[in-house]
Amino acid sequence: MRIRDTIRRAGRSLRQAKARTLLTSLAISVGAFTVTLALAAGAGGQAYTDSLIKSNGDAKHLSIMAKVNNQSDTPKEYGADDGSGAKQGVLTDRDVTKIKNVAGVSEITPAYSISAAYMTRGGGAKKYDTTISIKADRTALSLAAGSLQNNQVSNGSIIVPEDYLPVLGFTNAQDAIGKTLTVHIEKPSIMLGYPSAQSEDKTFTIAAVDKKSTSVLQYRAALRISTDDGKAIYDYQTAGIPQSDQYYTINVRVADNVDVKSVQQAIENDGYTVFSLQDIQQTLFQFINIVQWGAAGFGFLAILASVFGIINTQYISVLERTQQIGLMKALGARRKDIGRLFRYEAAWVGFLGGAIGTLLAVATGLFNPAIAKALSLEEGTKLLQFNPLTSIVLIVSLMIVAVLAGYFPARKAAKLDPIEALRTE
Amino acid sequence: MIEVSHVTKTYGKKHTAFTALNDISLTIPDGASVAIIGKSGSGKSTLMHAMSGLDRPEKGKVIIDGKDILTLKPKQIDSFRAHQMSFIFQSFFVQANESCYDNVSLPLEIANVPAVKRRKKIESALQAVELLDKKKSRARDLSGGQKQRLAIARAIVNEPKIIFADEPTGNLDTVTGGVIEDLLFDYNKNQGATLIIVTHDSELAAKCDMQIHIKDGVIEKMTTKSREKK
């Protein structure tokens, strides 16, 4: 028999036993539904984690800190010098030079600690306390207005938090873009309690307004300026005092085509403590994977259970159609044809079950907005993400599983003796 | 020509053994109509099964057109049945849930006839048994006589050389049975196909060219209508 005719006949005999076919398929669809949903949730979880990480940090960014002692966290004897600049958990320019020479490091910036006395729009406007920080990494900010190139501030520009706008007299975020803001910088007084000896005004152009995002784990409202501007302020504030050129953290940006992990390893080998976003990301992904495959495991169990349903249904089908099988054999149908007829029936059942389960799971995806709302995630977050390829692979696998389950019933059918099958008494 | 020589078929083993066919030999010329007559358990069905290759006797030869079908491989016998033979049964064995069209299509599908060529064959077979108007009806909605006519359409659709009919009128009343008989004999005469009817109806048997009486696995009597006695 031709394959097409066999498939058609298989489909027709399933249609003639609609209830039985549907029930058997539903058993499989439970498994397919669970697996699809687990994989979708896993994919969604990873995508969400990814966006979370991106808005909380820059994947190419490394934070470097000193170990208490070179190569180890055990304190070393006072006065002993091991050649590295690291001393008492503080990094110096010697460390900067050393790390700069590590292959794969494209940018290196010490975390300059700077402060501002106040900010003002000038011309007699009120003065306000403020926090100022340097945007050294390329972490994405969620912007209310304006734009940034590569998530960096250009020299002379400044990012203002949305919360600052009302006191600065801007009506909305767009209104602030392109306007200037003056930051007053003071040199620390030599002696505590005395007024500062020196101070200066720095004027910046507002390039962007950022706002708090729900996906940012920790948000601090601060004015953000470029590394060069920050360094200038740092140099101004620390010139001539003993604490100059000492840093707790050095920020490193890894070159674009270089593996972050290997650079991190190289710097760690030089005797520093290095934190990267990848560390966190990997831990989170690992967690999501465990949950995802755990849930999928239940789906696989359901599929295993439905296999027995298929075997049972197919055996009943063979018994019911003994005469048909006998007739076909008498008319010259080969064993192979009969076996194939029943295997295709099983495949149809597997296909139906897979398709029903997948469709139901995809329909669950319509609840994505509700899920995001219930978990108070950022609007538009899709925690269930379906991949058509995965679904196709799943459905095809279920068809194969069904065919394997139908092996024994199909063999029984193929082996039927036509004389016995057609005996009327 | 069908030549059966020294065919013996035994069921069971040793002391429970039962000889269904005991050293049977006979010759059926092409295009003949033959009745195999006997009571139930006489071995007449077994003889039909042996001649059609459904059953394998342990001794003897069944030579059809010069080939001993008992020495063929299963694949070749299946192909032989698909292309050269067909069957009609007492209980019709039409597929109740399928349309008349699909019922008749089955032997063509089994014989690997391409889909484009099937339609004409199926329709002319249904036409021959006057069921063309029922081609889309399900077989379960037919009467007994119509079902057997459908079975005949299925039997003749692939233009077989040999038709085996096992008590074809056994489940039908005299009038409808007569229609079925006419259809079978018409096909036998017009197409020159060999018709082998297994029956215990002596009236039906009398209409055949040749009568083979079987009793306890041996040929009791063989008569031919207008030719010499064997």
Residues B168-181 pLDDT 10s: 998 889 898 999 99
Interatomic CA distance for residues A334 and A121, integer angstroms: 93
Query: Is A12 an interface residue toward B (CB < 8 Å)?
Result: yes
Enumerate residues 6+ apart whose C-beta is below 8 A from B49. Answer: A419, B55
Cβ count within 10 A of residue B27: 14
CB contacts of B54 in chain A (<8 Å) are 329-330, 418-419
State the complex-level ipTM. Answer: 0.91
Which 3 state secondary structure label does DSSP give A264? helix
In three-state secondary structure terms, A39 is helix
Helix axes A18-56, A277-320, angle to 10 degrees: 180
A330 CA to chain B: closest CA distance, Å?
Answer: 7
Contacts of B86 (CB under 8 A, 6+ apart): A331, B107, B154, B155, B156, B158, B160, B162, B163, B164
Residues in Cβ contact with B165 at an 8 Å cutoff, skipping those fewer than 6 apart = B87, B88, B155, B184, B195, B196, B197, B198
Residue pairs between chains A and B whose CB atoms are closer than 8 Å: 63
Looking only at Cα atoms, what is the longest distance across chain A? Answer: 119
- Please name the amino acid found at residue A163: D
- Tokens standing for A404? 């394997």
Q: Is A419 on the interface with B (CB under 8 A)?
A: yes
The nearest CA of chain A is from the CA of B122 a distance in Å of 15
CB contact under 8 A, B110 and A419: no
**B192-211 per-position pLDDT tens digit:** 999 999 998 888 999 999 99
Calculate the alpha carbon distances from B72 to A340, A419, B81, B87 in Å.
23, 19, 12, 20
Tens-digit pLDDT profile for residues B64-96: 988 899 898 989 999 999 999 999 998 899 998
Calculate the alpha carbon distances from A312 to A298, A299, A308, A380, A395 in Å.
Answer: 22, 20, 6, 45, 21
In single-letter form, the type of residue at position A153 comes to V
B74 contacts on A by Cβ (under 8 Å): 334-335
Is A419 in Cβ contact with B78 (below 8 Å)? no
Per-residue pLDDT reduced to its tens digit, A219-236? 788 899 998 898 888 888
Cβ contacts (< 8 Å) between B86 and chain A: which residues? 331
Closest in A2, A329, A334 to B109, CB measured:
A2
Q: CB A330 to CB B81 under 8 A? A: yes
Q: What confidence score (pLDDT) does residue A116 get?
A: 87
Query: Domain B2-224 - what CATH class?
Result: alpha beta
Question: Which of B79, B89, B91 lies closest to A332 in CB terms?
Answer: B79
- Domain edges within chain B: 2-224
Nearest Cα neighbor of B214 from B2, B50, B20, B9 is B20
Q: Are A331 and B89 in contact (CB < 8 Å)?
A: no
Which residues pair with residue B215 across a beta bridge? B218
Residues of A in contact with B107 (CB under 8 A): 331-332
Say whether pTM exceeds 0.80.
no
Residues facing A92 on adjacent strands: A246
| Strand order from edge to edge, sheet including A105-110 | A105-110, A250-254, A61-66, A272-276
Say what the pLDDT of residue B227 is.
47
Q: Identify the sign of the CA torsion A54, A59, A65, A67.
A: positive
Contact list, A1 vs chain B (CB under 8 Å):
109-110, 112
Distance (Å) from the C-alpha of residue B97 to the closest C-alpha of chain A?
A: 7
How far is it, in rounded angstroms, from Cα A196 to Cα A236? 13
Helix (H) or strand (E) holding A207: strand A199-210
Confidence of residue A90 (pLDDT cuts 50, 70, 90): confident
For residue A229, give the nearest of A131, A153, A151, A118 by alpha carbon. A153
**Band of residue A343 on the pLDDT scale cut at 50, 70, 90:** very high
Closest-CA distance of chain A to residue B104, Å: 12
**DSSP letters of A161-185?**
EGGGHHHHT-SSHHHHTT-EEEEEE
pLDDT in tens, A251-292: 888 888 888 888 888 888 888 888 887 777 888 888 989 998
Q: How far is A19 from chain B (nearest CA, A)?
A: 15
